[in-house]
Amino acid sequence: MKQVLITGASGGLGYGLVQSLCENGHRVWAAVRKPESMKDLQSKYSSLLTVVKIDMTNSSDVDQAFAEIQSKLDSTKEFVLVNNAGIAVGSPVESLAIEEWRNLYEINLFGPIRLIQKFLPTIRKTKGRIVNVGSISGRISSPFLAPYSSSKFALRSLTDSLRREVSPLGVKVVLIEPGPTKTNIWSRSLEHGQELETKMTDDMRAVYGKQVQSLRKGVEKTARDAIGVEAVVECMVDAIENENPKFYYLVGKNICLMALVARFMPTRILDKMLMSGFRGIKD
Ligand SMILES: NC(=O)c1ccc[n+]([C@@H]2O[C@H](COP(=O)([O-])OP(=O)(O)OC[C@H]3O[C@@H](n4cnc5c(N)ncnc54)[C@H](OP(=O)(O)O)[C@@H]3O)[C@@H](O)[C@H]2O)c1
């Protein structure tokens, strides 16, 4: 039995992971913004599951959750932090307001750093582990996905450095890198994208309007072709339970191939490939 804190547990991968870990008999803290989102699972697994409130942008939420968890912790059992909460934002670099960049980074990068700093002493003491949820977008920089992609590149780099810092202390650090998976992240991102589009200046719309439309169509298609959450949750469970977890769990349709292409394909060809989906790019 391990003790696991999962952020972003209200839906998608986080929710699936909470369910699987409770099924396997682990003690789970599900961190959500709205506790009512966990009602069903809480009544089903009342002896194993506790819901805590964490908005990734709010450091006092993290302090409060830490105090609550600390008071119930069994120091003889491994503690695992799963940094799963995240949002996806796509936009031309030029037109996205700096406040939007900041909010995305608060959730996808500074939030995980905040949690790592808070819980690492506990993780060190219990020889536990940290599981960060990155993305294949943390290896490939598609045009108009810089906000999301750059946050996941940063998370991947953070994960690599951290692993090299704390593995001598007995702490394991793992990165999950899913490809497109059927969760609400897609509809949320499309909705947010529409909101951003309405905020674009006429000038920006004239320059990038067609590409933003292509991006929306691309996202809709990718969402339709995405895999189910089970395969990704299975990897997350392995990352938590396996005595010797992998460093990286690349999971999804052709994801290993994509990672290889991103690493070894000459940049000129890779650029052409990634730009080809954007109609009007030469207009
Ligand atoms: N689905 C994919 O195709 C895919 C692919 C690669 C990587 N990923 C990564 O997988 C992770 C989980 O995403 P998902 O696909 O399961 O998406 P999801 O269904 O949209 O779930 C995202 C979770 O993050 C939470 N969240 C968002 N903003 C937050 C904030 N400010 N504070 C705390 N929690 C917040 C959401 O909580 P609320 O309900 O309160 O908003 C939700 O629980 C993310 O890191 C994502 O980048 C997903």
State how far the alpha carbon of 180 is from the alpha carbons of 36, 37, 200, 219, 274, in Å: 27, 23, 27, 10, 16
Residue 185 alpha carbon to ligand 1 centre in Å: 6
Pocket test for ligand 1, best of 15, 37, 58, 87 (most atoms within 8 A of CB): 87
Q: Output the pLDDT for position 149.
A: 98
- Please give the Cα distance from 224 to 236 (Å, whole number): 23
Pocket test for ligand 1, best of 19, 20, 29, 33 (most atoms within 8 A of CB): 33
Low-confidence ranges of the chain (pLDDT < 70): 279-283
Q: Output the pLDDT for position 281.
A: 47
Could you write out the DSSP letters of every residue in 2-22?
A: -EEEEESTTSHHHHHHHHHHH
Q: Show the domains of the chain with their CATH numbers.
A: 3-275 (3.40.50.720)
State how far the alpha carbon of 134 is from the alpha carbons of 34, 82, 83, 137, 214, in Å: 23, 11, 9, 8, 24
Q: Output the pLDDT for position 153.
A: 98
Q: The tokens of 29 are what?
A: 């803290």
Q: Output the pLDDT for position 279.
A: 59
Contact 10, 56 (CB under 8 A): no
Residue with tokens 């394991």: 172
Phi, psi dihedral angles at 145 (to 5 degrees): -115, 15
Residue 163 alpha carbon to ligand 1 centre in Å: 23
Ligand 1 closest atom vs CA 33: 40
pTM of the full predicted structure? 0.97
Q: Output the pLDDT for position 33.
A: 98
Q: Output the pLDDT for position 278.
A: 84
Catalytic residues: 148
Q: Output the pLDDT for position 58.
A: 97
**CA-nearest residue, atom 25 of ligand 1:** 8
Q: Output the pLDDT for position 257.
A: 95
- Please give the Cα distance from 225 to 218 (Å, whole number): 11
**CA-nearest residue, atom 23 of ligand 1:** 8
pLDDT tens sequence across 51-92: 999 999 999 999 999 999 999 999 999 999 999 999 999 999
Ligand 1 closest atom vs CA 10: 43
Could you write out the DSSP letters of every residue in 189-226?
A: HHHHHHHHHHHS-HHHHHHHHHHHHHHHHHHHHHHHHP
Q: Which residues line ligand 1 (CB under 6 A)?
A: 7-14, 33-34, 54-57, 84-88, 107, 133, 135, 178, 180-181, 183-185, 188, 226
Q: The tokens of 87 are what?
A: 């949002």
